Amino acid sequence: MHIHFERSGGFTGMRLGTTVDTSSLPAEKAQNLHDLVEAANFFGLPATLQSSGGGADRFQYHISVEREDDSHTVEVSESAVPESLWPLLNQLMAMARSGPGA
């Protein structure tokens, strides 16, 4: 599975991102990412999730996941992130900060 993640926006406008190939990760970390994608029902989410409320300093998230037989991309604003997606986002942000193997 390949995952491309990018966070943009926020007060400083700094971007944070990473691209992960789970085949290059230790088995436990790869399985954790697979589990987080499944728990988020990622492939069942709409391509765009936006809230009606504004917020110039809010983050925007772009997540693309490719697996053997499917690919899906989700663009989501911070205020519209479903609870089920937060664990995956938090893991991807941690990996972006410290590198995918961390």
Give per-residue pLDDT as tens, 19-55.
Answer: 999 999 999 999 999 999 999 999 999 999 987 766 6
Give the whole-angstrom CA distance, residue 4 versus residue 13: 19
Percent of the chain with pLDDT over 70: 88
Nearest Cα neighbor of 57 from 40, 79, 38 is 79
Whether this model's pTM surpasses 0.95? no
Nearest Cα neighbor of 76 from 66, 64, 68, 67 is 64
Alpha helices by DSSP H, 3-99: 27-39, 86-98
> Given this model, what pLDDT does residue 48 score?
96
Region 53-63: what's the mean pLDDT? 80
Q: Which two tokens stand for residue 44?
A: 């069942």
The single residue listed with the structure tokens 């410290």 is 98
Residue pair 21/2 in contact by the 8 Å Cβ criterion:
yes
* pLDDT-based confidence at residue 9 (cuts at 50, 70, 90): confident
